[in-house]
Amino acid sequence: PDDLPQALRHNLPEWLVPPLEAQLAEGFWPLVHSLAQSATLDLRVNALRDKRRAVQEELAAAGIAASPTPYSPWGLRVTGKPALGRLDALARGAIEVQDEGSQLLALLLDARRGEMVVDFCAGAGGKTLAIGASMRNTGRLYAFDLSAHRLDAMKPRLARSGLSNVHPAAIAHERDERVGRLAGKVDRVLIDAPCSGLGTLRRNPDLKWRQSAATVRELAARQASILDSAARLLKPGGRLVYATCSLLREENEAVVEAFGAAHPDFAWLDAGELLERLKVERARSLCSGGASGSAYLRLWPHLHQTDGFFAAVGVRKG
């Protein structure tokens, strides 16, 4: 393999190579090698109903080896790719398949009992369910998405989760009147924005050939619009988490920095410090950027054995 031309060795579209090399330098080739490996199979234990250790023992009794994830307090990493469909733990809502990085996004939102919370781009609801459990099934949790079909996929998962505080709602666009009614009323908002998905190439290796520099620019404009609309929901002191599963700065830091420059009423918090308060192991090793070096959550497959994720945490000044 070392004798092959570089383009064949990295097996990436040429437009994608310069921004990744600029961000990673010597880490570029370790990332390339990690993207050629299979992704791990991670589970999230439903903290509303079960304890991680008890579920781990239940899986072991079923012949499935699993170990606690290194960062998420809710996660179990399964050895191999066993069939999970017939497990009682899945049927009763004790577990959900969810990458550890995705679990950390819900953890970073740190939703509390009795709050009003919005998952702005909820999709099939993986993070919605994690947030609802962290709220201990209290308060009100809105799950917004443009796709009613994707929200429908949440229904069986929601039913078995035991949550009754989740309210799915399909919206026409980010400025839908349902969104407008909540302006200035919400305690916390999670925006897992539509993105290029380049952090998930271990699961979707063909995705890189279906994106381009032009589509990334279009996505960045859409992300900025969604962030602007979702931020209006927050009351003074409310927390916002902007996240993507993209590897590219254009969809991540650049979007956040442009928003911050245009909205002096928002301040950005240090993600590393927040994760330390949440007792996440080696929290600052999961983060990068800013004067502290840990301003943003920045997960890489080759460093953290998760999908690639970015998250920034903001607060509306009171």
| Residue ranges matching CATH 3.40.50.150 in the chain | 99-316
pLDDT in tens, 33-82: 999 999 999 999 999 999 999 999 999 999 999 999 999 999 999 999 99
pLDDT in tens, 157-192: 999 999 999 999 999 888 888 888 999 999 999 999
Is residue 150 exposed (0-12), middle (13-18) or buried (19+ Cβ within 10 Å)?
Answer: middle
Mention every residue, 6+ apart, whose C-beta is less than 8 A from residue 304.
71, 100, 101, 286
- List the structure tokens of 220: 């960045």
- Three-state secondary-structure class, residue 156: helix
Q: How far is CA 282 from CA 98, 244, 278, 298, in A?
A: 21, 22, 11, 13
Tell me how far apart the alpha carbons of residues 289 and 250 are, in angstroms, rounded to a whole number: 14
| Residue ranges matching CATH 3.30.70.1170 in the chain | 41-98
The whole-model pTM stands at 0.96
- List the structure tokens of 287: 């983060």
Q: What is the pLDDT of residue 315?
A: 97
The H or E element containing residue 42 is: strand 41-45
245 as an active site residue: the answer is yes
Residue 193's pLDDT band (cuts 50, 70, 90): very high
Q: How far is CA 315 from CA 26, 105, 267, in A?
A: 34, 16, 5
The CATH fold assigned to 99-316 is Rossmann fold (3.40.50)
Of the candidates 121, 195, 245, 287, the residue annotated as catalytic is: 245
Task: Tell me which of 3.40.50.2000, 3.40.350.10, 3.30.70.1170, 3.30.70.100 is the CATH number of domain 41-98.
Answer: 3.30.70.1170
